[in-house]
Amino acid sequence: MKNIALVGFMGTGKSTIAALLAKILKVSYVDIDKRIEKKEGMSITDIFSQKGEPYFRKVEKKIVAEISLGSDQIIACGGGVVLDGENVKNLKKDGFMICLEATPEVIINRTKNYKHRPLLNVDDPKLKIDELLKKRRPYYAKADHTVDTSGLSEQEVAIEILSWLEGKGVK
Ligand code: S3P
> Count of residues for the chain?
171
> What is the whole-number distance in angstroms between the Cα of residue 102 and the centre of ligand 1?
15
Q: What is the mean pLDDT of residues 147-169?
A: 96
Q: What is the mean pLDDT of residues 94-105?
A: 96
Number of helical H runs and strand E runs in the chain? 8, 5
Name beta bridge partners: 147.
100
CA 109 from centre of chain:
18
Q: What is the pLDDT of residue 69?
A: 96
Q: What is the mean pLDDT of residues 65-84?
A: 97
Q: List residues near ligand 1 (CB under 6 A).
A: 10, 14, 33, 44, 78-80, 117-119
Ligand 1 binding pocket mutation candidate from 7, 9, 10 (most atoms within 8 A of CB): 10
pTM above 0.85, yes or no: yes
Taking CA atoms only, the protein residue closest to ligand 1 atom 8 is 78
Q: What residue type is assigned to position 35 of the chain?
A: R
CA 95-18-71 angle, 5° bins: 35
